A and B are shown apart, each in its own frame.
Chain A
Amino acid sequence: MSLARPRVLVADDAVLVREGVVQLLRAGGCEVLAALEDADGVRSALASTGDVDALVLDIRMPPTHTDEGLALLERLRADGVRTGVLLLSMYASPTLALRALSAGGATGYLLKDRVRDGGALVDAVRTVARGGTVVDPEVVALMLRASTGASRLDALSEREREVLGLMAEGRSNQGIAKELHLAVKTVDSHVEHLLTKMGLEASVDEHRRVLAVLEVLRALDA
């Protein structure tokens, strides 16, 4: 998997947004294999193209303009397809984000607004292509605010919550350190602490990070 130049399929029925996304991805060093209009197009392109690192899907596509992108993600996961999927949404909806992440790893949920920040879009695509998880900062903010009083997150300190929020956005420890103006080692220690507090110790690092984010999301369900 050549992540230096991820191979991406883009699907959005809105022509202007689709073109914008394609241009940004190309400018960000991705290889856009195809730009499609609907979920069926994605399925046939996947079948014919084969080696794809990430899908960038609009949640709302024809025919019903409701949740086709999300439904496609769920069908792909059910079929055992582990390709990274980044959903682009008009809505800062924690419940939709939870549904997306519940489908399995290598999944992202990003507001379409982020398209005007090409770097964030490309970062997110790379993260899901690597098997990581991305949740839009605005959604994370809503989730963290709501998770006040929720079980396993209670034990976290203010700083640890902040770090967890950024983890949920898909940032690496380096990225978090930069954002919070901390030393990477400090961030490492925060991450280790919060994962321990959340009971997520003995596991592969990347997977633990996903589980931590899912925990945040599940806390909302309780």
Chain B
Amino acid sequence: MGLSGTRVGALAAPGLSAAALVAGVTGGFVLDAAAPYLAPWDVWPLPLVATAYAAVAAYVATARPRLAHVAALLLVSVSVAAPALSFGLAQRSWSWVGIGALAALAAPSVGWVCGATLRGEAMGTVPRRLLTVAVALAASQVVVRALVDDPAAWGWCRCAGNPLALTSGSGPFERLEPWLAVADLAVVGLVVLAVGTAFWERPGRRGVPELALVGGLLVAAGAWAVADLAVLAGRPTSDAGPALAVGLLVVLAVHLAGLRRGRPSRAHVADLLLAARERSDPARLRELVARAVGDPGAAVYWWDRESGSYVDHLGRPATLAADRPSTHVLEVESEGRPIARVVTERPLVVDPGIRGPVAEALRLSTENRLLQEELAASLVQVRESRSRIVQASDEARRRIERDLHDGAQQLLISTGAKLNLASTQVDAARDPALADALAEASDELGRALSELRSLARGITPTALVHGSLTDALEDLALRSPVPTTLHVTGTEVVPAEVQATAYFVVAECLANVARHAHATTVRVQVELGRGLRVEVADDGRGGAEPSAGSGLKGLRDRVEALDGDLTITSSASGTAVVALLPNDAP
């Protein structure tokens, strides 16, 4: 059974359908006329089954023109109708013997249909090999029968003689007939084995349709086996006809349902387009592509710009793509750049109305993904640059504070020391004016130093320079004019920027409480959990507006620069500010 894809003209379908119908009905009439001693249920079922298979073959030829598939269905049709046709033709043409012999091909061709239903046309190695052996065995039966069967010559019937017959007497045929029955049993056994394996190896669900299919095949196989055993027993029978027909119709029904389900369709393409617009993962997209092109084994490889190669939905390099013929590959490009490649297990012959949208969906999803990646990258950049700005401003603050200490403050202090030394050398009794002037200068110097200290304190959390965040927060709480309780846990391991930010949050909030809240107590709670949680809550009159004061706004900028989050809740019973700071800030 070759797998080369050949397109059977769509025009052939109506013709095939009509021909099958005519053949079936004619076969039935001929059979009826030729054997009036047979009951109707012995006459009609098989021609009808043959007609049904031929009709499905015609449908497949239109919807999914695949030679192997159409051929297998037609072969079932022909081989099932073969005994009836042979019967009808017996008196008119010598071909009746050959046609009758074709019946041996029924089992393998039904097996192929079952296997393709369960596993797709590729079917898997073991079922395919078993079926190949069955076909070979069946074909050899056909040849043997055609060469030795000549009932007219032996006087068994008044029918056309077989010009191909090599033997003159009935002896060889009589000796061969049981062996032919045994071979036929073997063919049936191989077919059952092949379908059983396909059923077992089926990757997807094994539900009611699959069980029905196997059941149908077993019924048909049983019917064939009964016929073969009857031959072996020397009493040929056609009683198994109705059972065979039922089994084969069940198989066909399941096959047809599977065809409709697995058929490439606009609905599947619509699903794919939707999934591409939303942000679907590559595995899901692959599944939808496979459904849209009607090949469950279809693989999708995405072009990876970094490595300059195709990778699969798990990011692994594409290894399969290279050795497939071009008929199995759909290349998707955008503005000359590769986007993706769909590689199928069988030739990808689908409706251009599906092929185009599939490519478009892959293009869309890739462009979406690239846009999202760019967005994410620029978000990271923004975050990093915000964080750098905060770090730079902290560094600048530290430098200014240090310059104040090393420069102005040092000068003022040494000036103070000199003033003091000078004042000790002035005799206050003799020169009270000078003594007063010196004392006044010293006082002013003291105020200058005091102001300088508070200036420096506002510039940078000086206590952080010397000690822990806890120390720094304690100093803040001590300076707060509103009584402040402080609970700090686990802040030692927090990065410097986070500590500084926590400090600024508490400092700004305590300053706000003192200025606006009319509170009687403030509670400051700093805890290290998954991040650092800083809460400042007062019992004041509320009314804190994040947009109103630049203080809270600046605080929010600072917190968000570290990818943290600042929440302000303010009501008549007080204000609570909660900052959540990630512990792994850049």
Binding stretch for chain A, among B66-74, B255-263, B341-349, B403-411: B403-411
Given A91-B463, A146-B478: 7 more A-B contacts, CB < 8 Å: A23-B421, A92-B453, A96-B467, A96-B471, A113-B413, A113-B450, A220-B478
B478 contacts A117, C-beta separation under 8 Å: no
Within B448-498, the residues touching A (CB, 8 Å) are: 449-450, 453, 456-457, 462-463, 465-467, 470-472, 474-475, 477-479, 483
Q: Is A24 on the interface with B (CB-CB < 8 A)?
A: yes
B414 contacts A60, C-beta separation under 8 Å: no
**What residues of chain B lie closer than 8 Å to A117, measured between beta carbons?**
420, 442
Interface residue ranges, B against A (CB under 8 Å): 402, 405-406, 409-411, 413-421, 424, 442, 445-446, 449-450, 453, 456-457, 462-463, 465-467, 470-472, 474-475, 477-479, 483
Q: Is A181 on the interface with B (CB-CB < 8 A)?
A: no
Q: Give 4 nearest A-B pairs by CB, closest first.
A: A116-B416, A20-B417, A16-B414, A95-B471
A14 contacts B466, C-beta separation under 8 Å: no
By beta carbon, the residue of chain A nearest B398 is A65
B466 contacts A17, C-beta separation under 8 Å: no
B478 contacts A94, C-beta separation under 8 Å: yes
B466 contacts A59, C-beta separation under 8 Å: yes
A65 contacts B442, C-beta separation under 8 Å: no
A67 contacts B466, C-beta separation under 8 Å: yes
Query: 11 pairs across A/B with beta carbons < 8 Å?
Result: A16-B413, A23-B418, A65-B465, A93-B463, A95-B472, A112-B449, A113-B453, A116-B416, A116-B446, A146-B477, A149-B483
- In this complex, which of A16, A66, A70 has the most chain B Cβ atoms within 10 angstroms of its Cβ? A16
What's the Cα separation between A145 and B421 when bound, in Å?
A: 34
Q: Is A99 on the interface with B (CB-CB < 8 A)?
A: yes
- Shortest distance between the CB of A190 and any CB in chain B (Å): 25
**Which listed residue, B409, B414, B475, touches A20 by the CB 8 Å rule?**
B414
By beta carbon, the residue of chain A nearest B454 is A92
What's the Cα separation between A116 and B416 when bound, in Å?
A: 4
Q: Is A148 on the interface with B (CB-CB < 8 A)?
A: yes
A94 contacts B474, C-beta separation under 8 Å: yes
The answer to whether A20 and B466 touch (CB under 8 A), given A14-B406, A118-B421, A146-B477, is no
The answer to whether A115 and B417 touch (CB under 8 A), given A17-B410, A146-B477, is yes
**What residues of chain B lie closer than 8 Å to A14, measured between beta carbons?**
406, 410
Q: Is A143 on the interface with B (CB-CB < 8 A)?
A: yes
**What residues of chain A lie closer than 8 Å to B457, measured between beta carbons?**
91
Q: Is A85 on the interface with B (CB-CB < 8 A)?
A: no
**What residues of chain A lie closer than 8 Å to B453, measured between beta carbons?**
90-92, 111, 113
By beta carbon, the residue of chain B nearest A99 is B467
B405 contacts A90, C-beta separation under 8 Å: yes
**What residues of chain B lie closer than 8 Å to A54, measured between beta carbons?**
none
**What residues of chain B lie closer than 8 Å to A155, measured between beta carbons?**
none
By beta carbon, the residue of chain A nearest B450 is A113
**What residues of chain B lie closer than 8 Å to A148, measured between beta carbons?**
483
By beta carbon, the residue of chain B nearest A142 is B478
Q: Is A206 on the interface with B (CB-CB < 8 A)?
A: no
**What residues of chain B lie closer than 8 Å to A118, measured between beta carbons?**
417, 420-421, 424
By beta carbon, the residue of chain B nearest A145 is B478
Q: Is A27 on the interface with B (CB-CB < 8 A)?
A: yes
Contact with B along A62-102 (1 / 0, CB 8 A): 00011100100000000000000000001111111001000
Q: Is A154 on the interface with B (CB-CB < 8 A)?
A: no
**Which listed residue, A24, A92, A95, A96, touches B420 by the CB 8 Å rule?**
A24
**What residues of chain B lie closer than 8 Å to A67, measured between beta carbons?**
466-467
**What residues of chain B lie closer than 8 Å to A70, measured between beta carbons?**
466
A113 contacts B446, C-beta separation under 8 Å: yes
A142 contacts B479, C-beta separation under 8 Å: yes
B445 contacts A116, C-beta separation under 8 Å: yes
Q: Is A179 on the interface with B (CB-CB < 8 A)?
A: no
By beta carbon, the residue of chain B nearest A28 is B424
**What residues of chain A lie closer than 8 Å to B420, measured between beta carbons?**
24, 115-118
B475 contacts A116, C-beta separation under 8 Å: no
- Shortest distance between the CB of B273 and any CB in chain A (Å): 62
**What residues of chain B lie closer than 8 Å to A201, measured between beta carbons?**
none
What's the Cα separation between A150 and B463 when bound, in Å?
A: 23
The answer to whether A96 and B479 touch (CB under 8 A), given A14-B410, A20-B413, A115-B417, is no
The answer to whether A220 and B474 touch (CB under 8 A), given A90-B453, A113-B450, is yes
What's the Cα separation between A27 and B323 when bound, in Å?
A: 98
A20 contacts B416, C-beta separation under 8 Å: yes
**What residues of chain B lie closer than 8 Å to A149, measured between beta carbons?**
483
**What residues of chain A lie closer than 8 Å to B424, measured between beta carbons?**
27, 118
The answer to whether A95 and B413 touch (CB under 8 A), given A116-B420, A116-B445, A220-B478, is no
**What residues of chain A lie closer than 8 Å to B415, measured between beta carbons?**
116
**What residues of chain A lie closer than 8 Å to B477, measured between beta carbons?**
146
What's the Cα separation between A117 and B406 when bound, in Å?
A: 20
**What residues of chain B lie closer than 8 Å to A27, measured between beta carbons?**
421, 424
By beta carbon, the residue of chain B nearest A147 is B478
- Shortest distance between the CB of B18 and any CB in chain A (Å): 98
The answer to whether A66 and B442 touch (CB under 8 A), given A20-B416, A27-B421, A96-B471, is no
**What residues of chain A lie closer than 8 Å to B405, measured between beta carbons?**
60, 90
Within A129-173, the residues touching B (CB, 8 Å) are: 142-143, 145-146, 148-149
**What residues of chain A lie closer than 8 Å to B456, measured between beta carbons?**
90
A93 contacts B471, C-beta separation under 8 Å: yes
A116 contacts B417, C-beta separation under 8 Å: yes
Q: Is A124 on the interface with B (CB-CB < 8 A)?
A: no
**What residues of chain A lie closer than 8 Å to B470, measured between beta carbons?**
95
